[in-house]
A and B are shown apart, each in its own frame.
Chain A
Amino acid sequence: MLRFFVRRILLVVPTLAGLLLLTFLLVRVVPNDPSAALAGENATLAQIEEIRRQYGFDRPLWQQFFIYVGQVAAFDFGKSIYTNAPVAQDIKQRLPATLELTFIALALGAGLGIPLGVLAAISHNRFADYAIRVLTVGGLAVASFWFAIMLQFLFAMELDLLPLRGRLAVATDLPPLVTGFHLIDSLLAGRLDIFADTLRHLALPAFTLSIGAIATITRFTRSGVLETLQRDFVIYETAVGYPRPVLIGVYVLRNSVVAAITQIGLLFGALIGGAVVVESIFDWPGIGTYAVRGILSADFKAVLAVTLLVGIIYAMVNILVDLVHALVDPRVAEQL
């Protein structure tokens, strides 16, 4: 298993190196004068000159690339134009909020998607199956930003059941900072009121974000279960008299979720991409809102740092997924 893990990590190295090169090219080569682009629109000539020296734009391109790699390795992404703070610090502050939202959305996706998929498979070609299919196809076609606005309109504005935006109510104090995840921090501090408030604020954005995930996981689980149900061991175990719930819930499910687990890794990337939009609608103080503000204020450094970070997270999650995959199905580990 260790060998599998190491090899899997080595496979990611070229991709990440390529990603570094890509972001490097984007910021250094695409704009005509990268120093001017980095300095922002209102910079003076002296400031531009200063940046040119500071970033080494007066040196050959390959040297610049190594300087850039060194900066990234030291988490030095420069200062954000918008917040006027180092980008690395901004991201560090905001990342837990995004991860909390994404994990909850992923948990919703798996928690609803897998049971729905199993339900659709065991009622194959009957009403529940059709109803679930209509819902999942619809779920993949809905624009998340529109859905978010509709949810806000219905639950926050008309019914006044849930908060409209933000991560905590203004009157609620912040939980003591331990992990940055409000759900965990508030529990650690024993503050159930903060926990409840966090949940209320999470409900709409997390549900919006999870729509696509629920739909995808449902479809993969359904097809996986349908395929497994035709295998010989199912007939055997039915004949021997295993109770149906145990048979489906343990033996069939374990043999069917492999494809769904792979999808979770791919979904994580889609979720972080979706979080950019969902966060900016719900004013969620994460890296998505940060990226959108960066885009609107032409803050190259912020946007590229987020791009790079998301690429790294994405790669790590996919490694993790492969590990889980190998644990569920040991044959996978031998293939690599």
Chain B
Amino acid sequence: MLLLRKFSKDLPAVLGLAIVVLVLVAALLAPHLAPYPLDAYESHLTRRLKPPSAEYPFGTDNIGRDIFSRVILGTRSALIVSLSVVSGAMAIGVTLGLVAGFYGRWAGEAIMRVTDVFLAVPQLILALALAQLFSPSLESAMLALTLTYWPFFARIVYAETRRLKASLFVDALQCIGASAPRIVFAHILPNAASPIIVRLTIGMGFTILTAAVLGFLGMGAPPPSPDWGLAIAESRQHLPDTWWFATFPGLAIFLTVLGFNLLGDGLRDIVDPRLRRSR
């Protein structure tokens, strides 16, 4: 309750939560909210590139599809991609971090060296190289993002596990004969949960951005999917005549990422008051 009250006083975090909820609702109810739900795939060549109006709030694109509908329909793929990437990365990273942190020795060393290697190259470049090797498609983009995001989780969980392993309650558990898996999963993992959750929230925003870059470069969802990054790539040929085509999908990315970042910042403040607004 105290945490809840503290959270509600943090205006930016509440705003972030509101945006995230809004995006989630938009994604869940997308086909019902979009005024022209069929415009995800249908084209209407008679109404190409119409500026925003009451009928088409964000205008229409190069083959006459309602951009407002496509932005709403795009929330689905954006959230599905980022959720599966982040949860996949979390599953790998948390497991490896726990093993490396708890067992230490050569296995732990080996895992952390591999983590270092992955962190030695900027995530975007490694993801691009991987996505290309797997032959470009939405699935390979997701796989590439997962395979390059887990080290961030591994690092955090490793540090937390090392810290917790040295604490008194773990010694006590060992004394009364608790098995190693029990200590790790039933005691250490719950104690390390809060930094993981913070990373998860920030990772959502981050992954939406990176996935949009892959889509923009043509390595994500294929046309005609209502993908935001893809829409911005398609809009480039129609500048400077149609400002609305590029603007609104970009604003959608901005708003969604902003929501997750604000929420993540707020959660971090609650989880670790020492870091108040530090980064």
Contact = CB atoms under 8 A, between A and B. Distances in A.
B210 to A, nearest CB: 9
Contact of A30 (B120, B123, B133, B257): B133
A28 to B, nearest CB: 11
B262 A137 contact: yes
Contacts of B246: 146, 149-150, 153
Contact of A141 (B132, B239, B254): B254
B257 A141 contact: yes
A311 B133 CA distance: 18
A48 interface: no
Interface string A276-319: 11001000000000011001101010011011001100110000
B258 interface: yes
B88 interface: no
A315 B120 contact: yes
Interface residues of A, number: 54
Interface stretch (B52-60, B97-105, B211-219): B211-219
Contact of A149 (B131, B239, B257): B239
Contacts of A311: 120-121
B247 A158 contact: no
A26 B129 contact: yes
B122 A310 contact: yes
B125 A273 contact: yes
Contacts, number: 142
Interface string A46-89: 00000000000000000000000000000000000000000000
A300 B133 contact: yes
Contact of A306 (B116, B125, B258, B279): B125
A303 B121 contact: no
A153 B216 contact: no
B12 A145 contact: no
Contacts of B257: 140-143
Interface in B215-263: 216-219, 229, 232, 235-236, 239-240, 243, 246-247, 249-250, 253-254, 257-258, 261-262
A332 B2 CA distance: 39
A142 B124 contact: no
B117 A277 contact: no
A310 B130 contact: no
A16 to B, nearest CB: 7
A306 B122 CA distance: 11
Contact of A143 (B123, B129, B209, B262): B209
A274 interface: yes
A188 interface: no
B120 A15 contact: yes
B116 A14 contact: yes
B66 interface: no
A interface majority secondary structure: helix
B114 interface: yes
Interface string A123-155: 000000000010001101111111101101100
A152 B239 contact: yes
Contacts of A276: 124-125, 128
A138 B122 contact: no
A315 B122 CA distance: 11
- Most chain A CB inside 10 Å of its own CB: which residue of B122, B131, B265: B122
A17 to B, nearest CB: 9
Contact of B128 (A144, A145, A153, A303): A303
A169 interface: no
A144 to B, nearest CB: 8
Contact of A137 (B123, B128, B229, B261): B261
A277 B236 contact: no
B9 interface: no
B167 interface: no
Given A18-B117, A142-B254, A143-B212, A158 B240 contact: yes
B121 A19 contact: yes
A138 B235 CA distance: 23
B92 to A, nearest CB: 16
A31 interface: yes
A206 interface: no
Contacts of A306: 125
A138 B253 contact: no
A18 B113 contact: yes
Contact of B114 (A18, A138, A272): A18
Interface in B110-164: 113-114, 116-118, 120-126, 128-134
Contact of A145 (B213, B239, B247, B277): B213
A310 B121 contact: yes
Contacts of A142: 254, 257
A149 to B, nearest CB: 5
- Most chain A CB inside 10 Å of its own CB: which residue of B132, B257, B277: B132
Given A30-B133, A296-B218, A19 B124 contact: no
B218 A31 contact: no
A174 interface: no
Contact of A314 (B120, B212, B213): B120
24 contacts: A19-B120, A21-B117, A141-B254, A141-B258, A143-B209, A143-B250, A146-B253, A149-B236, A149-B239, A149-B250, A150-B247, A152-B239, A153-B246, A273-B123, A277-B213, A295-B129, A300-B132, A303-B129, A307-B125, A310-B121, A311-B120, A314-B120, A314-B122, A315-B120
Given A15-B117, A30-B133, A307-B129, 6 more contacts: A141-B258, A272-B122, A273-B122, A295-B219, A311-B120, A314-B120
